[in-house]
Structure 1
Amino acid sequence: MTQAPLTGGRAVPSSRLNRLWHLGRATTDLAAGIGMRGLIDLARGNEGASDRVQLSPEAFQRITNRLSHMRGAMMKMGQLMSMDGSDVLTPEAAAILGALCNRAEPMPLSQLAPLLESEYGKDWNRRFRRFAFTPVAAASIGQVHRAETADGRHLALKIQFPGVRESIDSDMDNLGFLSRAIGMSAKGMDLKPMLEEARRQLHQEADYEAEANALETYRGLIGDGTHYFVPEVHRDFSTGRILAMDFADGIAIDQLAEASFTRDDRDRAANLVMEIVLRELFEFRLVQTDPNFGNFLYQADSGRVVLLDFGATHPVPPAIVSGYRDLIRAAMVEDREAMYQSAIALGFAREDTERPQVDGMLELMRLSSEMMRHQGPYDFGASDLFKRIYDQGQQLYYEGAYSQLPDPSSVFLYRKFLGAFLLCRRLRARVDLPRLLEPYL
């Protein structure tokens, strides 16, 4: 989530018909961008139609404007594509879709006021000393307001956009056309399992009761230490569409990349993020799977990392935990046969997968684990590792090596690792991964 104050935006389309109209406009923009021949190929599913379509920056800008206005499932999937699709989309498309992570529009007061009245009652304002109508953050599902209760508690109120929960299924049902058109998937890949997992996660993220339970569970696991802070839920101000929690000060963690912050701050923040990612998998077996940088704040005065947004929190089956432990062990000693067996166990490969594809995948895994074999802190700022991974991954994509998807829950866990590594690169941090991994291997 973005942390800068936001001004009022356009009303969130809340009815199914209204959202379908906006999707139709986005499809019209798409059709204009790819031309009649491209549209016919997509509609017929002609050979090659799943290849990425070259759209002008202007056409992509119109489409992302529509998606950011709709919020909900459309915007969430745009965010997923912007993080994972850099080797699938054109550079222009990846850059514009990446802007979706910071492009959520807040709902206007004309929508916010009736929503507060429906959730808190007619005289809802009497429960607060202060209520900031300008949100401090906005994302795909809702926006966050700062408030002080009548008894003096300082709260962050996560308020869900109207109609978003009810529109998830209809939005997801209409995503197939757009996802194929802008190159979300590799040739031959069946996206249905992944889209179904995304649908399930979006329903969970829109369930604020489930998020409150996950937040309380996670807070109990973290405890009251000096390294992390997890907000406490305030049940008396929480409803089905409002989640009330402690307000936490801090800066968005990726802002530490700016020159005004020290290298020690960057290193500390990155190491703490990597440490909590490993603890989630191997110790808690409960992972917050959304890798958005906005889910982490950094408190420069205390050196603590604030952990936010637990709507996408999932328990990890023991078999997945063991599979990743075995894979990391094998990658650290470059044991290709053990890596292969672990990849099969995790669903990244099958025993009947063609050997050239297997070899390419194993080489990519070996390359991706370079920082785990490095003795001492790995300097992400001085490394060209991500360019090498990108080049290798792009080659595998064009060879059709991504036609098989592993278990969706394993893929979303992989995305959490990827997000943590991308943050380390953004911060140009030094991270001692072997030291962090040692307790679990």
Structure 2
Amino acid sequence: MASNPSDDDKLPTQGRFTRFRKLAGLSAQLSADVLKSGAKRLVGQDPELLSMSAAEKLVTTLGEMKGAAMKIGQAVAMDTEMLSPEVRQVIARLQNEAPPMPYALVERVIREELGDAPEKLFREFSQTPLAAASLGQVHRAVLHDGRPVAVKVQYPGIAATLSGDMDNLGLMVKTISKASKLTDGTAYFRELRDEMLLETDYLREATLCASFARSVERLPDLKVPEVISSLTTQRVLTLELLRGRTLKDWVLSQPSAEERYRVARQLILAIYGPFFTVGDLHADPHPGNFMVLEDGRLGVLDFGSIKRFSAHFVDANRRMFLHAMRKEPMDILALSREVGFTCELPDDEGSALIQEVFQIVGRPMRLAPYDFATCSITRDLRSHFTRNAPRFLKIRPPAEAVMFFRSTGGLVQNLRLVGAEGDFTRVYQEVAALL
């Protein structure tokens, strides 16, 4: 079936300059909102950083653009310190509720990739998407043998769109690095760009999904969907359909304290288990990528952003973690250098700064009980970096650490969203027992 020309108008905004101009317009509107917030703060009020109207504008614009722009919006929605619960709930729609592409375009991509219409390839194929995200949308279907599946269909042209977005952002990073006295951020941006562009290859994602499934075989409370290889190509990914609610929807159901602790434990295992055992890390851990299943397990979704770390990065982090769990003394600066950090400060000064970071992020590993509902890890890290900014510019992590920070920072935000309280030292001991 040929798509209607008007359907193409509903694709993500095309053209590098057009997208840049659209983002610039959004930025101007949001800046005005932030300035109003600052003015209220000056007179002693405690305003929201973003108004509801600005949040709605953000969701509409980024949802239509998809690509890297939408991924940025997903990250913003996870920041519990920056936005009110109401505003965050609006922006959270970007996590899997973006405006969908017309079904005619879905059918066109499937025909191009799999050689036939969805109605022929599947016993059933729902024209209404289950979810619409940054690079593609997901449809429920049933195989001819009766198995329910989720079919992820990539937006036409999104690979070029994403590349253009990253080029625009890269130019901004390069300009800022040259114009300011801040450390050069181009290597870190290149790492993020390269990893993000790989997400448009669904054959690669299928391989990573199967590999991640093997990495959690010793963790029966986690579930990774099976790949249907015969119906998977570079732009179409068919996976076993998991039954349950995404994390952000499950939280709204007011789960009990016991349920919150159970899911928080599963989230910790899902991030740290595969990383410490095989060096694989889920580096896009927003709440739409985890599902609380009907049988109580935690389903893990979206494997395009699985990061595979170098052996020395994993090994040094593993030893650092085990030293902490055993309460053994460690040379934090030497281990950080093994990870790949460089430090231009005197050793005692650099060690003290890194040690404070370690103390902040390690609270749930040391303190029992620990309450993630009142967790201040993100706020305290920001405060530590802000107070010591000139000195932190002389401590540089390796480029691959960008994805590690993205993942572990997202985990903390998800745990705060779940709001569990309990003895999490036992959970981290479970992780240590895997090694």
Supply the AA of the counterpart residue of 2:251: A
Paired position in structure 2 for 1:286: 280
1:314 partnered with 2:311 = no
Deviation of the 1:356 alpha carbon? 5.3
Paired position in structure 2 for 1:380: 372
Deviation of the 1:257 alpha carbon? 3.2
CA RMSD across the alignment:
3.9
Deviation of the 1:28 alpha carbon? 3.6
Deviation of the 1:160 alpha carbon? 0.6
Paired position in structure 1 for 2:186: 192
**Residues 344-382 of structure 1: CA deviation (Å, up to 9, x unaligned):** 2224441446865653342122122122123x5533235
Gaps of 5+ in 2: 1-6, 36-48
Deviation of the 1:256 alpha carbon? 4.0
Q: Normalising by the residue count of structure 2, what TM-score does the alignment of the two structures yield?
A: 0.79
Which residues of 2 match residues 74-153 of structure 1 at below 5 A?
74-80=69-75, 83=78, 100-101=94-95, 104-153=98-147
Paired position in structure 2 for 1:13: 12
CA–CA separation in structure 1 for the residues paired with 2:115 and 2:235: 13
**Residues 109-133 of structure 1: CA deviation (Å, up to 9, x unaligned):** 3432322332333544222232111
Deviation of the 1:9 alpha carbon? 12
Maintained 8 Å contact 1:14/1:163: no
SS of alignment partner, residue 132 of structure 1: strand
CA–CA separation in structure 2 for the residues paired with 1:97 and 1:258: 15
CA–CA separation in structure 2 for the residues paired with 1:325 and 1:73: 31
Q: Indicate the percent of aligned positions where both proteins have the same amino acid.
A: 27
Paired position in structure 2 for 1:22: 19
Please say which of residues 99-108 and 264-273 is displaced more in the overlay: 99-108
SS of alignment partner, residue 128 of structure 2: coil
Maintained 8 Å contact 1:331/1:339: no
Deviation of the 1:62 alpha carbon? 4.4
Which residues of 2 match residues 211-230 of structure 1 at below 5 A?
211-223=205-217, 226-230=220-224
1:362 partnered with 2:355 = yes
SS of alignment partner, residue 101 of structure 2: coil
Paired position in structure 2 for 1:5: none
CA–CA separation in structure 2 for the residues paired with 1:94 and 1:187: 33
- CA gap 1:381/1:217 in 2 versus in 1, 3 angstroms: same
Supply the AA of the counterpart residue of 2:414: L
Supply the AA of the counterpart residue of 1:69: E
1:414 partnered with 2:405 = yes
SS of alignment partner, residue 174 of structure 1: helix
- CA gap 1:97/1:160 in 2 versus in 1, 3 angstroms: same
Maintained 8 Å contact 1:186/1:400: no
SS of alignment partner, residue 141 of structure 2: strand
Maintained 8 Å contact 1:364/1:389: yes
- CA gap 1:341/1:97 in 2 versus in 1, 3 angstroms: farther
Deviation of the 1:210 alpha carbon? 0.6
Q: How many pairs were matched up?
A: 410
Q: Normalising by the residue count of structure 1, what TM-score does the alignment of the two structures yield?
A: 0.78
CA–CA separation in structure 2 for the residues paired with 1:404 and 1:80: 25
Maintained 8 Å contact 2:385/2:392: no
CA–CA separation in structure 2 for the residues paired with 1:211 and 1:63: 29
Deviation of the 1:69 alpha carbon? 1.4
CA–CA separation in structure 1 for the residues paired with 2:238 and 2:28: 42
Paired position in structure 2 for 1:325: 318
Deviation of the 1:227 alpha carbon? 1.6
CA–CA separation in structure 2 for the residues paired with 1:69 and 1:404: 38
CA–CA separation in structure 1 for the residues paired with 2:395 and 2:187: 11
Paired position in structure 2 for 1:350: 343
Paired position in structure 2 for 1:47: none
Maintained 8 Å contact 1:286/1:313: yes
1:171 partnered with 2:170 = no
Task: Report which structure shows greater RCO (CA 8 Å, sep ≥6).
Answer: 1
Maintained 8 Å contact 2:30/2:50: yes
